[in-house]
Amino acid sequence: MLSEIVNGALISASLIIAIGAQNLFVLKQGLLKNHIFYVSAICFVCDFGLMSIGILGLGTFISRNPLITNILAILGALFLIWYGFGAFKSAINGTSSMQIESQSTDNTSRVKVVMATLAVTLLNPHVYLDTVVIVGGIAGTLNSQQKLAFLIGAVCVSFIWFFSIGYGARLLTPLFKQKRMWVILDCIVGAVMFYIAYRLVIYVFFAS
């Protein structure tokens, strides 16, 4: 049982701890102090649900239906392009740096932040690929008890990671009081979003 917990934790960590749309979003909301508990909790709950679905066997079903993955990829690419343009717009206008300097950042609409978190999580096809297809596929050879242990290890890492980067981002707040750092971060976010969108388009039109 312990070995399955460790394996689940290691595999989850290898997939979650990477620069991507979701992690950059959580980091930015943590820096802006925008309802970070809700942001971290939503990311964790979505991971928990999707990993559970994958481990129960639906990961194999989705991976065998290219139409579903192509639709997810197209929707994800469109969302990432839109999000990337927003990041570059923030870099040009200095919107993010103005937000962190403001004393009213906690007044940012909770509903708006929640909806944005759900969008960057559930419209990102990499989330489904990682949590449902890959994690589910790896756990497919395990028995019921082993799957439960594997799931425990995987979701524990998810919980620790999202709350760590969410609340840990505040330690970087003094650094990000400089407008230049926000411009750099927003440019990185935009570039990563465009790159992931590009890879998704290549996948849909050339790899499938």
Which ranges of the chain does DSSP label H, i.e. alpha helix?
Answer: 2-16, 21-32, 36-53, 59-63, 66-93, 95-101, 110-122, 125-128, 135-139, 144-168, 179-202
Secondary structure class of 19 (helix, strand, coil): coil
Phi, psi of 173 (to 5 degrees): -55, -45
Domain ranges of the chain: 2-207
Q: pLDDT-based confidence at 1, cuts 50/70/90?
A: confident
State pTM to two decimals. 0.73
Cα(190)–Cα(82) distance, rounded to whole angstroms?
Answer: 9
Which is more confidently placed, 153 or 32?
A: 153
User: Is the model's pLDDT at 104 over the cut of 50?
Assistant: no
Mean pLDDT score, 155-179: 86
Closest CA to 197 of 80, 72, 47: 80
Contact yes or no for 110/38 (Cβ under 8 A):
yes
Cα(105)–Cα(185) distance, rounded to whole angstroms?
Answer: 18
Cα(32)–Cα(161) distance, rounded to whole angstroms?
Answer: 18
Mean pLDDT score, 115-138: 80
